[in-house]
Amino acid sequence: MKILVDADASPVNEIIKKAARKYQLDLIFVSNVNHLIKSDYGKVMVVDGYSQSADVAIINLVKRGDLVITQDYGLASIVLSKGGLALHPSGKQYSEANIDGLLMQRYLNSQIRKAGGRIHGPHKRTKADNFLFSEKLTAILNNYYNYRETLE
């Protein structure tokens, strides 16, 4: 397992680095040239500034069993179709059971905006949000290691 991060707008990079270091996992932050990402653990992959460039790079890198951290429902959907795991920075894990509804809500919200309507954005991030994300990330990584040990 490796962890791939859609790092352009990720508010949880430090939490991810700490977990990846603890579990000794490969970590790749993917960011476009418009964002300066530095990391003392893992790799930083910089892609061009075109729309969706970071997403395409992640899609090309992800393999079955890898974990992707992203806020992008479309990217999460493709990760799931490739057998990967996807986690939102809020701690919500994307799954086959919830991804279609999330994609539909994204579509409906875009239609409302095109018609001149307004959609409320996300709430201000809190320490509780970071705690929830950290707990879910730890649970995923523990499950991975427990599963791996049963195979050995």
pLDDT digits (tens, 9 = 90+) for 86-108: 999 999 999 999 998 888 987 88
CA 36 vs CA 18, 44, 51, 52: distances in Å: 19, 10, 17, 17
DSSP letter string, 26-72:
EEEEEEETTS----SSSEEEEE-SSTTHHHHHHHHH--TT-EEE-S-
pTM: 0.87
Q: Is residue 109 very low, low, confident or very high in pLDDT (cuts 50, 70, 90)?
A: confident
DSSP letter string, 124-152:
PP-HHHHHHHHHHHHHHHHHHHHHHHHH-
Q: Which two tokens stand for residue 47?
A: 């892609």
User: Which sequence spans correspond to the domains of the chain?
Assistant: 2-151
CATH 3.30.2450 is the classification of domain 2-151 = no
Is the per-residue pLDDT at 150 higher than 70? no
CA dist 142 and 144 (Å) reads 5
CB atoms within 10 A of CB 5: 29
pLDDT digits (tens, 9 = 90+) for 22-70: 999 999 999 999 888 889 999 999 999 888 899 999 999 999 999 999 9
